[in-house]
Amino acid sequence: MKSLLNLSILLLFLSVGCSKSTDSTTKEILLSGQVLELNSDSSSDPIASANVTAGGETTTSSSDGDYLLYLEPGTYELKATKNGFEPYSKSITIPEDTDGHYRDIIMTRSEN
């Protein structure tokens, strides 16, 4: 239920145009989502304090697993790390014709 509320809040921000411009020619897009651990019963739990990076920008996920990054349109390697979990890496494309982009990060526990 808490994840659904967080998702609703994030989507509300995206729907009202959560983008920022650093100047008149460069538009930065909000990339947001949750860092999650997928459980064997297909439920998921948020992962707090995961390091999330893309395009030289870095943030840390909140206690609810939420993260936010501002990126210019383009293709990036979205990465996440957290002790006890396998590193996550996925290529993503942030389109120019959007004010926001939502991408969850699903991490798995390491075998160590």
Domains in the chain: ranges and CATH: 2-107 (2.60.40.1120)
Contacts of 61 (CB under 8 A, 6+ apart): 34, 35, 46, 47, 48, 49, 50, 52, 67, 80
Which pTM was predicted? 0.75
Any alpha helices (H) in the chain, and if so which ranges?
Answer: 2-15
Q: Residue 7: count other Cβ atoms within 10 Å of its Cβ.
A: 16
**Per-residue model confidence as pLDDT tens for the chain (112 residues):** 555 555 555 544 544 454 444 445 678 999 999 999 988 898 999 999 999 999 999 999 999 999 999 999 999 999 999 999 999 999 999 999 988 999 999 999 998 6
- The pair of structure tokens assigned to 63 is 């206690």
CA distance 34 to 54: 15
